[in-house]
Amino acid sequence: PSHDRVFNFAAGPATLPETVLRKAESELFNWRGSGMSVMEMSHRGKDFTSIIQKAESDLRSLLDIPSDYAVLFLQGGATTQFAAIPLNLCKPDDTVDYVVTGSWSDKAFKEAQKYCKPKVIWSGKSEKYTKIPAFEGLEQSPNAKYMHICANETIHGVEFKNYPNPKSLLVADMSSNFCSKPVDVSKFGIIYAGAQKNVGPSGVTIVIIRKDLIGGAQEITPVMLDYKIHHENSSLYNTPPCYGIYMCGLVFEDLLAQGGLKEVEKKNKKKAEILYEAINQSNGFYRCPVEPSVRSLMNVPFTLEKAELEGEFVKEAAKEKMVQLKGHRSVGGMRASIYNAMPLAGVEKLVAFMKEFQGRHA
Ligand code: PLP
C-alpha cells in the first residue's frame, strides 16, 4: 500500500480499493486506446455502452440477480429513492409499512408521507436505535403495498441479519451494506443503494427492481424518478453519471476477482470481529451501545467511558493516519466504518491504537 495514503474510516464517501484507484489512474487520460478519458466520452458511444453493460453484467454475477429483475444506474442518491419508491409503487391513498431502525429509515418514512400513507409498524427510537425487530414481532398493515427496511443503519450501526418475509413486498435500502455479503435478491421487490460506501464514488445510485413492479408510477412522478423511463432506456434516458458508473464497474471487477461476495463477507466478518472483540475486552473503557446480535459489519459506533477523552482519541488517531473516526453528530462518540475496501491491516492498526490509548488513560 502507498505510504501517502491514510486509513479512512469515513461513512461515505468512503475508502476505495487501491487497486481500483490505480487502474482508474492508468486509464485516466486514454481509456483503452480511445484517446480520451471516460469523463469525456459520449454516453451513447460504443465505448461507454461497453462500460455500462459490463458493470451491469458483473453486478448481476456478483449478486446472482435473477433475469426478472432490472438493474438501474441512477442519480440523486438513496435520498431520491425515498420519494421514487412510493411514487412508483403506490397511489396516494395506499398504505405502506415502514420499519424504523435508525435515522435513515426514519427519513425514508418521512419522505413517503408526501406520496402515500406510510405507517411506522416498528420503531427503535425509544431504545436509541440499538435493536432490530424479529419478523414475528412486526404487525403488518392488512393492505400494505410494501414493507420498507434499511438493511444497515449507517449512523446507528444496526444491521438486519435475517430479512423479514412480508405478505406484500420487501423494499430495502442497502446503501451501506450493498455488496458486502451475498443476498437473495429474489426475496426483495426493490433493493437500492447509493454507491459511495461499498462500490464507488458518490453520484451513482443503484436500483435493483423486479420487472413487474415497473410501470405504475403516479401521474405526478417526475420523469427522472420514473423507473419505467430508466428501464426502457437502459439507464441512458438522460446523461448518466458516466465516470461514477465506470468506477463502480472497476469495483465490481475487483470484487469478482476476490472470489465474489462469499469471500468478501468472510473478510468483512473477520474485520468486524476483531474490532468488536477489542471493544468487548476493554473492561468498559470502550462501549458499543448496539445489541450484540445485530451489530453491523460495516459501521461500528463506540463511545469512551470517559467521554471527555473522545476528542483526543480522534485527534491522536488522525496523527497516526487513521482518519474520520468521529461519530455522527447526532449520536456522538466514535464510528469506524469498515466497508469492503478497508483492509484488515487498517482495522488491526486501529485495534492496536485503541489498546495503547487505553493503556495510557485507564
Ligand atoms: N441510506 C443510508 C443507509 C445511508 O447511509 C445514506 C447515506 O448517505 C443514505 C440513505 C443517503 O444517501 P445519499 O446521500 O446517497 O442520498
Neighbours of 91 (CB within 10 A): 13
Find the 74 Cα to ligand 1 centroid distance in Å.
14
Q: List ligand 1's pocket residues with C-beta within 6 A.
A: 12, 77-79, 104, 150, 154, 173, 175-176, 194
So what's the pLDDT on residue 331?
A: 86
Burial class from Cβ neighbours inside 10 Å (0-12, 13-18, 19+) for residue 248 reads: buried
Catalytic residues: 104, 173, 197
339 domain-assigned: yes
So what's the pLDDT on residue 161?
A: 97
Q: What does the chain come to in residues?
A: 362
How many domains in the chain? 2
The last residue of a domain, from among 257, 292, 322: 257
Distance (Å, whole) CA 89 – CA 95:
11
Q: What is the pLDDT averaged over residues 319-333?
A: 94
Closest C-alpha residue for ligand 1 atom 15? 77
So what's the pLDDT on residue 39?
A: 98
The owner of cell 447509493 is 194
pLDDT at 238 over 70: yes
pLDDT at 1 over 70: no
Same domain assignment for residues 195 and 312:
no
15 domain-assigned: no
91 domain-assigned: yes
Structural domain of residue 350, as residue ranges? Answer: 261-361
Find the 64 Cα to ligand 1 centroid distance in Å.
24
Find the 109 Cα to ligand 1 centroid distance in Å.
14
Q: Which atom of ligand 1 approaches the CA of 76 most closely?
A: 16
Sign of CA dihedral 315, 316, 318, 324: negative
So what's the pLDDT on residue 87?
A: 98
Choose one of 79, 81, 98, 153 to mutate for the ligand 1 pocket test, by most ligand atoms within 8 angstroms of C-beta. 79
Find the 339 Cα to ligand 1 centroid distance in Å.
14
The last residue of a domain, from among 233, 257, 281: 257
Find the 202 Cα to ligand 1 centroid distance in Å.
10
The last residue of a domain, from among 228, 257, 286: 257
Same domain assignment for residues 189 and 308:
no
Closest C-alpha residue for ligand 1 atom 3? 175
Choose one of 174, 175, 192 to mutate for the ligand 1 pocket test, by most ligand atoms within 8 angstroms of C-beta. 175
CATH, residue 282: 3.90.1150.10
Same domain assignment for residues 158 and 140:
yes
Q: Under a CB-based contact definition with an 8 Å cutoff, are residues 170 and 149 in contact?
A: yes
Same domain assignment for residues 194 and 305:
no
Closest C-alpha residue for ligand 1 atom 5? 154
8 domain-assigned: no
Same domain assignment for residues 232 and 308:
no
pLDDT at 151 over 80: yes
Which residue, among 350, 352, 298, has the nearest Cα to 6 in the 3D structure? 350
At 2, the pLDDT band (50, 70, 90 cuts) reads confident
User: So what's the ipTM on this one?
Assistant: 0.99
pLDDT in tens, 182-194: 999 999 999 999 9
Task: Tell me the average pLDDT of the chain.
Answer: 97
Find the 175 Cα to ligand 1 centroid distance in Å.
6
Closest C-alpha residue for ligand 1 atom 9? 78
Closest C-alpha residue for ligand 1 atom 14? 77
Closest C-alpha residue for ligand 1 atom 2? 175
Same domain assignment for residues 106 and 195:
yes
Q: Under a CB-based contact definition with an 8 Å cutoff, are residues 119 and 172 in contact?
A: no
pLDDT in tens, 339-350: 999 999 999 999
pLDDT at 241 over 80: yes
Say what the pTM is.
0.98
pLDDT at 131 over 80: yes
Which residue, among 231, 248, 159, 241, has the nearest Cα to 195 in the 3D structure? 248
Q: What is the pLDDT averaged over residues 294-314?
A: 97
At 3, the pLDDT band (50, 70, 90 cuts) reads confident
